[in-house]
Amino acid sequence: MNKILQKEFHVERDDYANAGMASSQIKSTLKQVGVDPKVMRRIAVAAYEAEINMIIHAWGGVVYLDVTEDGMIHLIFQDCGPGIPDLEKAMTPGWSTASKKARELGFGAGMGLPNIKRVSDEFTIESSPAGTSIFLTFRVEE
Amino acid sequence: MLCSDIIRAVHAEPLVVSNEERLTKDYKAAFASDLMSDALALIQDEFEHTILITGLCNAQVLRTAEMLDLETVLFVRGKKLAGADLMMAQSMDINLFTTTYTMYETCGILYGQGLGSIS
């Protein structure tokens, strides 16, 4: 499928000062292509939770944004490790391994991954010690 | 409940007024939490008519409001953001207020005066 928009955003480990910057850029990029506000909000929530996870749990990574001709928005969050040892537990609402710093930021309630899955049209997660990848798909129109 | 009535009810002080028209806007609901993940998970509707009440005072509150398209944030216990964050709020078109009441008192006063919960 041909891509009508393709961008990538780099997220640095422990970069708390800029946490949310990539999601903000994703939101303003999609605003320019006229994505439905309700869809946009779901994308923004998913992107922000995933970006925060990359900063507080992982060693940073890259976010890939693609919009394809068939009206689909694809987001891939690929971090640099250390991976999630138990994906089933990580997907359980309320289960968290967040640090004190993450909690000070207002995160670490154990709602991140379940929330990302809830707002996405398609959600896939893969994890190994080399890193975690989250593949999200959204339809441009609700 | 009009934003101006909310401000009056809890004796709130404006920190950033990015949009003066919203001072007369009618808000239907409030969501109160120090956990931004809860706000991201639970505020699912009526974004433009909901205010966020929080005792958390950092840039992530602004980012959360930005992602959810929330226009007004009320900090409790007299909390105030620092200079750079105030500028960020301005650029995001978010209005910020602070009240010296605690979270419990703030919610009690506003709920008692008719500001509802999120549906």
* Nearest C-alpha in B relative to A106: B35
Q: Which residue segments constitute the domains of chain A, with CATH numbers given?
A: 3-139 (3.30.565.10)
- Cα A137 to Cα B8: distance, rounded to the nearest angstrom: 44
Quote the pLDDT of residue B33: 96
* Regions of chain A where pLDDT drops below 50: none
How far B42 CA lies from chain A's nearest CA (Å)? 9
DSSP E strand stretches across chain B: 13-16, 29-32, 50-54, 72-75, 95-98, 116-117
Highest mean pLDDT among A36-40, B44-48, B104-108: B104-108
- Residue A31 Cα distances to A24, A61, A78, B24, B72, angstroms: 11, 24, 23, 27, 21
Quote the pLDDT of residue B82: 86
For the segment A79-112, what is each residue's pLDDT rounded down to a tens digit? 999 999 999 999 999 898 888 888 888 888 888 9
How far A25 CA lies from chain B's nearest CA (Å)? 11
Quote the pLDDT of residue A104: 86
Residues 50-79 in B contacting A (C-alpha not used; CB under 8 Å): 54, 56, 58-61, 63-64, 66-69
Q: Which has the closest alpha carbon to A15: A51, A64, A44, A63? A: A51
B38 touching A (Cβ < 8 Å): yes
Q: Does B119 score more than 80 pLDDT?
A: no
* Nearest C-alpha in A relative to B68: A41
pLDDT mean over B29-58: 92
Q: What homologous superfamily does CATH list for B3-117?
A: HprK N-terminal domain-like (3.40.1390.20)
pLDDT mean over B79-83: 93
Judged by average pLDDT, the poorest of A88-97, A119-128, B22-31, B59-68 is: A88-97
